[in-house]
Structure 1
Amino acid sequence: MGNWETAYEKWRTYENLDTLLKNELQSMENNDEALEDAFYTELTFGTGGMRGVLGPGINRMNVYTVRKAVNGLANYLRENAVNVNDRGVVVSYDSRYMSQEFALETAKVLGAYGIKTYIFDKLHPTPLLSFAVRYLGTVAGVMITASHNPPEYNGFKVYNEDGGQITPAEANEIIEHIQQTENELTVPFMEKQELEKKELLTWVGSEVDNAYLDHLEEISHLEENERKAPKDLQIVFTPLHGTAYDLVLKGLEQLNFTNVGVVKEQAKPDPEFSTVESPNPEEHQAFKMAIELGKKNNADILIGTDPDADRLGVAAKDSFGEYKVLTGNQLGALLLDYILSNHDQKLLPNARMLKTIVTSELGRKIADYYGVKTIDTLTGFKFIGEKIRQFDSTGEFFVFGYEESYGYLISSFARDKDAVQAAVLASEVAYYWQKQGKTLHDALNVLYEKHGYYLEGMTSLTLKGKEGSAKITSIMESVRNEPLTSIGGLPVEQMEDYLSGVRTYAGSEEKVEKIDLPNANVVKYKLANDSWVCLRPSGTEPKIKCYFGVCEDSREASEDRLAGLKTDMAGVLNED
């Protein structure tokens, strides 16, 4: 009997198996391929948590894999945190299938260890969870979400006592404790009624929301009298069936943005995300209904948040009067320029802008222009959150952080990307440029003309299952062990291998430098003419991603250069 068959047999013969999971497992009993995929490996707990398809099996999201993860977290906290039982853990959840159930399962397992849990009384955005950790003073936070993944997914994200996603070092310790839990089916837990009776479960109401909104109002750079004045900016907002509806509208109302049209069909939570192909504001199809309403209302700006409200997409009219979605890099540049141009210039020498290694270099150019230092991090907002925490002891201060995948943080009262903050500030930026007779696309052209025509792109290859995982590994080994010498007609000048932590210069075996960042399965090629290409497997989806960046003297030249890079790398990714 193979390993997966042994694991399957343990589940199949477990008398107290959850009824729904038992029925689903029985429906799979003649499908060895499906059973193997559900049991051949344990669902990976990565550097931020775990995410996977719902269903029975050790490679699926279900009450048992969640209980096992919480069991590991509980033992980690008991060893590493102070006053764990009383400070407790705060839990939030989004609109997905089983989200509320998994939130309660988290409390049930923590309660068995005497650890208090706070759970929001209704679904809430991820950034509210980050804020709540800090506001309530808990030892950790848990967010039940699969962000913008398809409806069949859910996930379990862990936050440290600073409100940031757990660091790789913290994750490794939690993983060790999870692995010490031998049987996920028999993890101890306490029932809800007993948790409430022993005051180990507290339901969180509006107090945290109100405190968050007080901080949110302060990110504005408008003068007090202008904050209170009515604004004629026409906004269309869609929460894409997720968690952002209440807080975004309240945040806009605080600044007197009253002309807000909401896409009604997408306003209510819906685990099927039935009106979109994908609830991801990175994908322009998600804006279809917002564009229709925008045309009807003659809107100046369209804003859309993903289901757990940590990512924001924005669209505005282009020179032809058509709504065009800004990339994450473009919106990040506009937000950054607005913040720095309206900041106390005397403070900027100690300010720090944070971005990831696959985020546009336009941000660095803008920061340089204002005398602000840029710090690069690995991909993943947890690294930005970790760096902000370090500033508490260095005298530096955080002024803005972003990543190309539509994640932004304006103020560090939250320590993860925050689409609520970004939605409010993006509306303020649009209002600022509207007063000058410009759209956000016009404003972007102002930045290009000043700093250069920086364009970026990303392609991905989805490779599911066991064979797909092996293919992704093979691609990364190939680009690492047989380095490319040119891409898109440009010679490679440097190769950065973040797994070994080494930067190698082309044509010089002796010139090698250490990369001062944590190890990660990422390879970045830096080319002539300030172009670059970066390859990394996704940490949350069965994909390998390829990122591109170029800067030429004109938009046309940059577009041509970008196309050339994409063509060459498509060949690399699709080689047999």
Structure 2
Amino acid sequence: MEAVIRFGTAGWRGVIGEDFTFANVRRLSVVLAHWLQTRYESPRVVIGYDTRFLSERFAEQSARVFARARVPVWLCQRDAPHPAISWAVVRRGAALGLNFTGSHNLPQYSGIKVIDERGGLVGDEVTRQWEADVTAYSNHSVITLTYDEQWVTPIDPRPDYLEQLARLVPPERLQRRLRVVVDPLYGSTREYLESYLTERTPMEVEPLHSFKDPYFGGYGPEATRENLQELIRFVRDGQFDLGLAMDGDGDRFGIVDRDGVYVQPEQVLCILYDYLLEGRGERGGVVRNIATTHLLDRIAQAHGQPVIQTPIGYKNAAPYLWRDDILVAVEESAGFTLRPHIPDKDGMLACLLATEVVAQTGEPLTAYWQKIVEKYGPLYQAKGHCACDEQALRQYQQWLHSPPTAIGPYGVRRVETLDGIKLYIDAETWLLVRMAGTEPLIRVYAESPHRDTARRLVQTAIRSIRGDDG
């Protein structure tokens, strides 16, 4: 039986050799080629890939299917980060882009992110149609390997993308002689930020893990504190000013400050937004997902700017980036983008803008963060999860149907069901419980002006969901 292809919050992903196979890649490519030809007079496609096992081969197979259908393809000549592929779609006027990547997942996974003509991820309404259409094609019906090479043109998206970065973060704002470590985590961002900073600024740049490794050093290429221990030691022991890390396909960031201090992603998001308003004098609101800190709301409201809350998934934020009164879109899992740019997260842009903050203020990011807390007041987040077994799923569904009036000693004043269930204890304290989009987990988030309250809310909610609270 052929594997079922399902799109999640950021494309289709699967285990290489099990459900993510050459046959299934060809099946989906046939559907996409047909979809394009029924909607565009002369569609063109950009296809890129990451550093994972067989990613280049998967991309080539997909390109052959499009070429066989006489849809011209711009095929990246080496692995490339997701933001650069997305920008190539916009810059070249393509109707669609495909990025063969497992993003930050473990090495045994691969996937496809499908990019629309504006540079964002294709929405759920369209991907659901593709899921239905792909079942009509068997593996044997699309084994078509011969094609005319004139339909495939190799490209390097790097120069155009670096020029776009220069427009968003001008080199003249990066002229302080900082010492910076750039860590692409063996992924496709290698030779991007290193080149930008080395060629356009006086900074001393030291690359780390800047070579291709399909095993990513033996762990998932996610720029978390746990995965950045070597970068933390490198920055601390070498007395560098900054450590800049990106995940496997470059759409998420991880930042290490002077003395090897890991800066939490939501602290970085607040720093970047406040700096754009205060340091650059820009204006515009913030789009954040339902799990992201409300400290961003305080910053926006202090400057008279709007706040928009969306479900989790960056494609839910993308439509708002075309509004003139919106400046940034962010998500708690290290997602950031800036208008005018692609309506999808860009880890390299976030890292470069954080470098600008340090270069312009002359202070470490932790010092800037302390000023934010002093100005706007503290908010503390806690997070947790539990396995989505039968008991947990039943309790979660019961909460959705009949929201609890209290979580332990904390009374619930307001309920939102935009994505999962969000329970407000008071105006600044909340608890969010939702199903994970890519794993069999129930995720729990809480935020409060009091650190212990956030932690207790998460612990109490998990005990209740598991059924061991009584």
TM value normalised by structure 2: 0.93
Deviations 1:301-336 (A, max 9, x none): 22211010000011224xxx5x33222211000000
Q: What secondary structure, in the 3-state scheme, does the structure 2 residue paired with 1:528 have? A: coil
C-alpha distance in 2, partners of 1:108/1:472?
45
Deviations 1:488-511 (A, max 9, x none): 53211122223xxxxxxxxxxxxx
**1:259 is aligned with what amino acid?**
E
Whether 2:148 is the aligned partner of 1:195: answer yes
Q: What secondary structure, in the 3-state scheme, does the structure 1 residue paired with 2:447 have? A: strand
C-alpha distance in 2, partners of 1:215/1:308?
18
* Partner residue in 1 for 2:35: 76
Contact 1:143 1:158 in 2 (8 A): yes
Deviations 1:330-380 (A, max 9, x none): 1000000111113446xx3xx232111111111111112222212222211
Query: Of residues 222, 228, 241 in structure 2, which corresponds to 1:300?
Result: 241
Contact 2:446 2:454 in 1 (8 A): yes
Query: Kindly, what percent of the aligned residue pairs are identical?
Result: 25
Q: After the TM superposition, which residues 148-547 of structure 1 pair with which residues of structure 2 at under 5 Å, given as runs?
A: 148-181=104-137, 183-191=138-146, 194-196=147-149, 199-205=150-156, 208-220=157-169, 224=172, 227=174, 229=175, 231-253=176-198, 255-263=200-208, 266-274=209-217, 277-281=219-223, 283-317=224-258, 323-344=260-281, 348=283, 351-389=284-322, 391=323, 396-433=324-361, 435=362, 438-462=363-387, 473-487=393-407, 489-498=409-418, 522-547=420-445
**1:241 is aligned with what amino acid?**
Y
C-alpha distance in 1, partners of 2:9/2:192?
28
Contact 1:109 1:190 in 2 (8 A): yes
- Per chain length, whose mean CA-contact separation is higher, i.e. which structure has more relative contact order (CA < 8 Å, sep 6+)? 2
- 1:459 to 1:178, Cα distance in 2 relative to 1, 3 A: same
Instruction: State the superposition RMSD in angstroms.
Output: 2.2
Contact 1:316 1:325 in 2 (8 A): yes
Q: What secondary structure, in the 3-state scheme, does the structure 1 residue paired with 2:461 have? A: helix
C-alpha distance in 2, partners of 1:455/1:155?
34
**1:271 is aligned with what amino acid?**
P
Contact 1:167 1:386 in 2 (8 A): no
Give the number of aligned pairs: 468
Deviations 1:7-50 (A, max 9, x none): 2xxx7xxxxxxxxxxxxxxxxxxxxxxxxxxx6xx242335421
**2:376 is aligned with what amino acid?**
H
Contact 1:407 1:417 in 2 (8 A): yes
**2:456 is aligned with what amino acid?**
G
Deviations 1:42-91 (A, max 9, x none): 242335421111123xxx1111121222222222222233422xxx1101
| Aligned-residue offset at 1:150 | 0.7
Contact 2:289 2:312 in 1 (8 A): yes
Query: Of residues 117, 126, 129 in structure 1, which corresponds to 2:73?
Result: 117
Q: What secondary structure, in the 3-state scheme, does the structure 2 residue paired with 1:149 have? A: coil
Deviations 1:415-470 (A, max 9, x none): 2111111111111112233x2xx42112111111111111223223355xxxx5x6
Q: After the TM superposition, which residues 46-57 of structure 1 pair with which residues of structure 2 at under 5 Å, given as runs?
A: 46=8, 48-56=10-18
Q: What secondary structure, in the 3-state scheme, does the structure 1 residue paired with 2:110 have? A: strand
* Partner residue in 2 for 1:506: none
Deviations 1:76-124 (A, max 9, x none): 222233422xxx1101111111211111121122223211111100000
**1:363 is aligned with what amino acid?**
L
Moved more, 532-541 or 111-120: 532-541
Contact 1:76 1:177 in 2 (8 A): no
Contact 1:221 1:339 in 2 (8 A): no
**1:408 is aligned with what amino acid?**
F
C-alpha distance in 1, partners of 2:251/2:296?
20
Contact 2:432 2:446 in 1 (8 A): yes
Contact 1:76 1:173 in 2 (8 A): no
C-alpha distance in 2, partners of 1:373/1:549?
21
C-alpha distance in 1, partners of 2:465/2:32?
37
C-alpha distance in 2, partners of 1:98/1:488?
50
Contact 1:311 1:406 in 2 (8 A): yes
C-alpha distance in 2, partners of 1:574/1:316?
38
- 1:357 to 1:385, Cα distance in 2 relative to 1, 3 A: same
Deviations 1:507-532 (A, max 9, x none): xxxxxxxxxxxxx5x22212225111
C-alpha distance in 1, partners of 2:353/2:205?
15
**1:326 is aligned with what amino acid?**
V
- 1:51 to 1:474, Cα distance in 2 relative to 1, 3 A: farther
Which segments of 5 or more consecutive residues in structure 1 lack a partner in the other structure? 1-6, 12-38, 499-519, 553-557
| Aligned-residue offset at 1:574 | 2.8
Q: Which has the larger radius of gyration?
A: 1
